């Protein structure tokens, strides 16, 4: 993926700030300006060790990352950046002291955070200030750099503050307001003063092309409803509007229960049989992260919306395209569109629950897939909430905005449309818009006025100087070698390791000699980078000469360690020793990587280009050295896997039918036993059995006691929904998703009788 632009293009400048400087960046922009495209570009091009995280599970899945809580192992609840709670408070609120005391970050997770260079936080509008301060504390402690924000990690914040706000309970804010001016991330204490992120706003709108509509949206985005704007919008007010059956309008409303009711009633009115499609859930995929319902009910003629782009690249559908189910049976369905004669056979899409790990062989941050969720990437689309419509694009929509209750919702709803031509209002726009939070207005208004190009020139030069000096700092690796040598403490009779003490001493002495040379060169380098203006020719000559000097010597040290690891692998009781040698060699390899990076960084600076991973030299020699010592090859990145061609018709083997789960259940097997026997997630088995609860073949009392059942049904009727998550939010932790799933299935069965 590329961002094609001129030097003055905002997206290009933003990418250079991320890759060529160490500044924290807040990238924002109106809906449709390309924030998601920018995120994907950075993740596939940055030369930095980077991870993606988001405040919620669904946001993390959509961004292709992890939740902030899981990445930093944060406790739930509010956090105050103080050692103790203010007197008189006994709430369950975390402090700096309790957070540090409870940290359990060890092993690979600790190494991951220590090697991290770039933290990307998506949907940052939902990120609370106290959570960001907690993240800052964790990184400072784990990286042992308490004097700099985030322990020296650069942070890229992405999002639109005028969309989803952070959620803070009233009782929490009673405490937090003593420390924060607002709950928004930019008021975190770690971002104050000189650490404030650079504010960059994408301004090119790709979704709309009508200048009049774009100006109207700009006004709404800043919570301004001019009389002429209201008059223009209310021309589209059509009370009682009912679209023709073949006209793909979607209703945007402000409340979940209304959207659920519209979709459910529209589906029930369709003639014909209902078909149920179960998600294939493999291994660890928590229910609160499900991108769709695990059981999807569809009929022929159902209006559906795709929630993903066509993964084949043929652009048959896109995120937000609406069509109707044309042909359907137990094995799947096709969707047709009013403006296209071609029917699309829908295939299941795979969402992944991942975690990040640090590969100590390749010295790279990698993704490990913990579990997958495979389901057809569509949902019923007669109606959708404004909240869930974010990121989608519609050609035709009916907007019910009379109940818009949060600042920005009117803007979000209207900005989903390509143009005003497809707009219908079921109620007039509010005469007065909800007040916009003044904290947002103040933060946006305080953005620096200095041209971005000038800031970039200064910051990139600072980054170049610091990075070049850091690349020739052999101190950290020397420290690891000293620690390794200190572990040879037992006599030869008690430890196999002790037989290799002489080898370890020679290795440490050899590297110490190279460090002495590097220290002297570092002093020369400090003088060179202090010159104004920089003498780039002289710098490049010295950097390349130093790299040519150290490269063969460091490679020989790496080879010595890997050869040693191969030797001891043949001896008994050396597993721990082998692991230590592998880790030690990874630190030596890191020094080699730094040297190569220094030369590439200097070249990109000279040429005035963005420094990306593509500018780094290939590592074929490294791969050969690993292979010679029977070490695993470099893993493929997500970007590499995504570009690999798939075999035609490649598809995972379809799971067995619900009847097999039912048969095993009737034989007396529990849900857990059935899941283990069939190699499926227990939630998948629950979905199978819920079908039989709905049909009455299995009494619901086998899963739920009558009191719990009635409580769940009461809540479901009150909020008028059969969606599990809204019901769970109201009921709390006393009720599991399993309880709610079977109760909802029972209720559906009653309605169908």
What's 160's domain CATH number? 3.40.50
User: Quick check: is 581 in a domain?
Assistant: yes
User: Quick check: is 650 in a domain?
Assistant: no
Contacts of 66 (CB under 8 A, 6+ apart): 51, 52, 53, 54, 60, 354, 355, 356
pLDDT of residue 378: 96
Domain end point (choices 176, 205, 234) = 205
Task: Specify whether 97 is located in the same domain as 173.
Answer: yes
Domain end point (choices 173, 205, 237) = 205
pLDDT of residue 643: 41
pLDDT of residue 324: 94
Task: Specify whether 314 is located in the same domain as 429.
Answer: yes
Task: Specify whether 471 is located in the same domain as 348.
Answer: no
Task: Specify whether 227 is located in the same domain as 181.
Answer: no
Count how many domains the chain has.
4
If we measure between CA atoms, which residue out of 410, 225, 399, 379 comes closest to residue 723? 379
Domain end point (choices 587, 602, 617) = 617
User: Quick check: is 587 in a domain?
Assistant: yes
pLDDT of residue 18: 96
pLDDT in tens, 407-449: 567 777 888 888 899 999 988 876 666 666 778 777 876 665 5
Whole-angstrom distance, CA of residue 666 vs CA of residue 673:
12
Task: Specify whether 329 is located in the same domain as 428.
Answer: yes
pLDDT of residue 208: 59
- Category of 4 on φ-ψ map: left (φ > 0), alpha (ψ -120 to 50) or beta: beta
pLDDT of residue 653: 40
**CA angle centred on 323, ends 319 and 327, rounded to 5°:** 125
For the chain, the straight-line distance linking the first and the last C-alpha, in angstroms and rounded, comes to 52
Average pLDDT, the chain: 85
pLDDT of residue 16: 93
**Residue 654: is its pLDDT beyond 50?**
no
Task: Specify whether 256 is located in the same domain as 341.
Answer: yes
CA 155 from chain center: how many Å?
14
Whole-angstrom distance, CA of residue 302 vs CA of residue 19:
46
Identify the top-confidence range among 107-121, 392-406, 681-695: 107-121
Determine the structural domain holding residue 474 and report its residue range: 452-617
User: Quick check: is 355 in a domain?
Assistant: yes
Task: Specify whether 220 is located in the same domain as 147.
Answer: no
pLDDT of residue 90: 61
pLDDT in tens, 205-240: 555 567 888 888 888 777 777 888 888 888 999 988
Task: Specify whether 254 is located in the same domain as 200.
Answer: no
**Residue 559: is its pLDDT beyond 60?**
yes
Structure tokens at 134: 């907690």
Task: Specify whether 307 is located in the same domain as 242.
Answer: yes
pLDDT in tens, 564-587: 888 888 788 888 888 889 889 989
pLDDT of residue 494: 59
**Residue 54: is its pLDDT beyond 90?**
yes
Whole-angstrom distance, CA of residue 702 vs CA of residue 251:
39
Structure tokens at 749: 């069965």
Contact present, 220 and 414 (Cβ < 8 Å): yes
Mean pLDDT value across residues 332-359: 91
Whole-angstrom distance, CA of residue 172 vs CA of residue 91:
9
**Residue 518: is its pLDDT beyond 50?**
yes
Range scoring the smallest mean pLDDT among 471-475, 592-596, 699-703, 716-720: 716-720
pLDDT of residue 625: 61
If we measure between CA atoms, which residue out of 70, 299, 77 comes closest to residue 172? 77
Structure tokens at 110: 């600790």
The model's confidence at residue 51, banded by pLDDT at 50, 70 and 90, is very high
User: Quick check: is 3 in a domain?
Assistant: no
User: Quick check: is 531 in a domain?
Assistant: yes
Whole-angstrom distance, CA of residue 293 vs CA of residue 326:
21
If we measure between CA atoms, which residue out of 664, 666, 684 comes closest to residue 674? 664
322-329 and 303-306 strand pairing: antiparallel
613 backbone dihedrals φ, ψ, rounded to 5°: -65, -25
The residue whose two tokens read 């109606």 is: 383
The model's confidence at residue 381, banded by pLDDT at 50, 70 and 90, is very high
User: Quick check: is 649 in a domain?
Assistant: no
Task: Specify whether 225 is located in the same domain as 180.
Answer: no
User: Quick check: is 279 in a domain?
Assistant: yes
**Residue 333: is its pLDDT beyond 80?**
yes
DSSP 8-class letter at 446: T
Q: Exposed, middle or buried, 202 (CB in 10 Å: 0-12/13-18/19+)?
A: buried
Q: Tell which wins on pLDDT, 18 or 2.
A: 18
Mean pLDDT value across residues 738-753: 85
pLDDT of residue 641: 45
What are the CA-CA distances from residue 641 to residues 54, 299, 371, 646, 667 (Å)? 23, 35, 17, 10, 43
Range scoring the smallest mean pLDDT among 382-396, 466-480, 530-544: 382-396
**CA angle centred on 227, ends 221 and 228, rounded to 5°:** 85
Task: Specify whether 548 is located in the same domain as 610.
Answer: yes
If we measure between CA atoms, which residue out of 205, 210, 185 comes closest to residue 195? 185
Q: Where are the alpha helices (DSSP H) in 379-437?
A: 409-414
pLDDT of residue 638: 44
Task: Specify whether 228 is located in the same domain as 341.
Answer: yes
Range scoring the smallest mean pLDDT among 201-210, 478-487, 547-556: 201-210
The model's confidence at residue 257, banded by pLDDT at 50, 70 and 90, is confident
């Amino acid at each position: 993926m590329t961002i094609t632009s001129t030097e003055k293009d905002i997206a290009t400048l933003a990418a250079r700030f991320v890759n060529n400087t160490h500044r924290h960046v807040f990238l924002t922009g109106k809906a449709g300006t390309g924030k998601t495209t920018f995120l994907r570009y950075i993740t596939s091009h940055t030369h930095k060790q980077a991870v993606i995280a988001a405040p919620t599970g669904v946001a993390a899945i959509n961004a292709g990352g992890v939740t902030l809580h899981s990445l930093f192992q944060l406790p739930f609840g509010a956090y105050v950046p103080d050692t103790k709670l203010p007197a008189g408070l006994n709430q369950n609120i975390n402090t700096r002291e309790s957070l540090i005391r409870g940290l359990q970050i060890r092993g690979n997770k600790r190494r991951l955070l220590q090697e991290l260079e770039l933290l990307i936080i998506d949907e940052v509008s939902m990120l609370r200030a106290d959570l960001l301060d907690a993240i800052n504390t964790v990184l400072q402690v784990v990286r042992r750099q308490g004097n700099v924000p985030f322990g020296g990690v650069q942070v890229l914040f992405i999002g639109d503050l005028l969309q989803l706000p952070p959620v803070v309970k009233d009782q929490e804010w009673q405490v937090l307001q003593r420390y924060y001016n607002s709950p928004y991330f930019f008021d975190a204490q770690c971002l104050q003063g000189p650490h404030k992120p650079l504010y960059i706003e994408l301004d090119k709108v790709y979704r709309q092309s009508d200048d009049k509509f774009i100006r109207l949206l700009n006004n709404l985005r800043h919570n301004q409803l001019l009389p002429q704007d209201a008059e223009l919008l209310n021309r589209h007010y059509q009370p009682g509007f009912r679209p023709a059956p073949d006209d793909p309008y979607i209703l945007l409303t402000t409340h979940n229960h209304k959207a659920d009711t519209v979709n459910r009633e529209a589906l029930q009115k369709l003639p014909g049989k209902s078909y149920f499609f179960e998600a294939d859930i493999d291994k660890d995929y928590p229910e609160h992260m499900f991108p769709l319902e695990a059981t999807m009910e569809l009929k022929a003629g159902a209006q559906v919306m795709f929630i993903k782009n066509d993964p084949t690249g043929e652009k048959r559908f896109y995120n937000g395209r609406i069509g109707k189910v044309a042909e359907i049976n137990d094995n799947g369905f096709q969707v047709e569109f009013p403006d296209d004669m071609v029917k699309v056979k829908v295939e299941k899409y795979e969402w992944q629950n991942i975690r990040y790990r640090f590969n100590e062989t390749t010295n790279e941050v990698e993704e490990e897939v913990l579990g997958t969720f495979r389901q057809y990437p569509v949902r019923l689309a007669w109606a959708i909430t404004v909240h869930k419509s974010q990121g989608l694009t519609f050609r035709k929509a009916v907007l019910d905005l009379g109940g818009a209750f949060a600042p920005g919702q009117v803007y979000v709803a209207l900005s989903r449309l390509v143009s005003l031509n497809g707009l219908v209002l079921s109620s007039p726009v509010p005469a007065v818009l909800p007040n916009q939070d003044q904290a947002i207005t103040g933060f946006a208004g305080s953005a620096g006025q200095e041209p971005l190009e000038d800031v970039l020139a200064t910051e990139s030069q600072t980054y170049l100087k610091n990075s070049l000096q850091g690349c020739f700092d052999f101190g950290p690796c020397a420290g690891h070698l000293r620690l390794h040598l200190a572990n040879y403490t037992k006599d030869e009779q008690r430890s196999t390791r002790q037989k290799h003490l002489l080898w370890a001493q020679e290795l440490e002495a050899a590297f110490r000699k190279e460090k002495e040379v590097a220290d002297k060169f570092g002093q020369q380098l400090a003088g060179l980078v202090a010159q104004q203006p920089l003498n780039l020719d002289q710098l490049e000559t010295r950097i390349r000469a130093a790299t040519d000097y150290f490269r063969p010597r460091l490679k020989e040290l790496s080879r010595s360690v890997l050869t040693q690891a191969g030797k001891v692998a043949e001896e008994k009781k050396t597993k721990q020793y082998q692991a230590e040698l592998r880790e030690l060699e990874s630190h030596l390899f890191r020094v080699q990587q730094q040297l190569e990076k220094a030369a590439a960084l200097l070249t990109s600076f000279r040429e005035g280009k963005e420094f990306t991973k593509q500018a780094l030299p290939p590592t074929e020699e490294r791969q050969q050295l690993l292979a010679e010592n029977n070490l695993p090859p470099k893993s493929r990145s997500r970007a590499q896997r995504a570009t690999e061609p798939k075999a035609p018709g490649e598809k995972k083997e379809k799971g067995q039918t619900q009847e097999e789960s039912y048969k095993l259940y009737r034989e007396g097997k529990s849900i857990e036993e059935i899941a283990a026997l069939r190699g499926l997630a227990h939630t998948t088995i629950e979905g199978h059995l819920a079908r039989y609860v709905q049909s009455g073949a299995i009494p619901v009392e086998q899963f739920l006691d009558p009191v719990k059942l009635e409580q769940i049904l009461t809540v479901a009727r009150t909020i008028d929904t059969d969606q599990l998550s809204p019901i769970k939010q109201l009921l709390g932790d006393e009720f599991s998703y399993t309880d709610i799933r079977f109760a909802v299935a029972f209720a559906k069965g009653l309605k169908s009788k």
